[in-house]
Amino acid sequence: MANEVLTSADNGVLTITLNRPKAKNAANRALAEGFVAAVDELEGNDDLRVGILTGAGGSFCSGMDLKAFVTGETPHIPGRGFAGLTEYRASKPIIAAVEGYALAGGFEMAISCDLIVAAEDSKFGIPEVKRGLAAAAGGLAKLPKQISYRIAMELALTGDFISAQRAYDLGLINQVVPSGTALEAATAMAAKIAANGPLAVAASMQVVYSAQDWTSDIMFDKQNEIVQPVFVSEDAIEGATAFAEKRAPNWKGK
């Protein structure tokens, strides 16, 4: 993996760090390829339960590397999207730990994660229109599903930034924490998730995500297709047994 992306694993959590701090972690091709390799590591290792995406140097990601863009280089990976994330749905949860700027493609990376923890002085936005571009890596399509239509339209058309507190008030992020502690807070959240049954976490994720597109007449049938295997799994028996025995469960993922 290139130095543009670093990984470290601890207690079932894989921390993925975008590592171009001098460029505020702007995404180039090498960063995108490094991120894909990191997510493949997360997906392929049964000992890893949760991913955290963060940025080095006090910033999350400022978007696409425009210097690379004008030379014809693109950080889009076929089937994966911008920086290898925005068109991909991981089977394990990924938490964005945001310090500094999450702008343009960086914003789109953050909202493509399952949860977002942000420092109180961080900034969010899709300023592509200010550069004659459009937020085509998910900002235009995903944002109206995560916040109100009119606020999504305002952000898309003005290109203005919003604060972490404003993003929290809009329901876009999960936690606002003191500056410099986003990774620490995301790690604490990841630990709670990693302690839960992996089959149950995966099924719950899938239902919450997919249910946005289900109509009321099919939603329970669709849900049952996903969750029923969880109820007859060895982990379900282990979870109930551990509760009765007042001990921590020993998950097998089956």
Q: What is the largest CA-CA distance in the chain?
A: 62
How far apart, in whole angstroms, are the C-alpha atoms of residue 100 and residue 129? 21
Distance CA 68, CA 86 (A): 19
162 neighbors 111 (Cβ within 8 angstroms): no
The residues annotated with a catalytic role in the active site are 108, 128
Question: Which residues neighbour 82 within 8 Å (Cβ) at sequence distance 6 or greater?
Answer: 27, 32, 64, 75, 76, 105, 108, 109, 137, 138
